[in-house]
Amino acid sequence: MIEFVRNVRLWFAPEQVRREGGTPDYRFSLANERTFLAWLRTALALVGGGFAVDQFLPDLRWGWRVGLALALLAAGVLCALRAVNHWVRCERAMRRGEDLPVSRFPALLGLVVALVAVAMVFVVLVGWEG
């Protein structure tokens, strides 16, 4: 947890990240940035999906609609936060010459999206008017 708090401080202080270790090959830094942007696109898609469920499925029972929408919105928030945290962790590791950090987040995100998809399949098969 202490490491996460330290990383949050680094989100807003890129000059401190630059002071660590040596400058990596710019291609690796740019690849790290592209990965960050891919995670942000995923976060935006999840947020958009959450709003779509809430706004375009008015006949869906309130509990289902809100539950699915909130699951997608929460996944979007976590994905956006994870993006910047992972970017900082990778940048620091590259500067220090360390292995890139591993994370369980992609598996967790995949499970959440799969669970929402299974719930949506259930809703479509059973029907949503109630």
pLDDT at position 80, please? 96
**What is the chain's percent helix, strand, coil content, to nearest 5?**
80, 0, 20
Residue-wise pLDDT tens digits, 51-86: 999 998 888 888 889 999 999 999 999 999 999 999
Q: Which two tokens stand for residue 95?
A: 């500067």
Q: What is the pLDDT of residues 97-122, one digit of tens each?
A: 999 999 999 999 999 999 999 988 98
Cβ proximity of 90 and 100 under 8 Å: yes
Read off the tokens for 71: 């699951």
Judge whether 69 and 50 are in contact, CB under 8 Å. yes
Nearest to 86 by CA among 26, 11, 2, 25: 11
The CA angle 114-67-74, to the nearest 5 degrees, is 70
Please report the pLDDT score of residue 128 as a whole number. 61
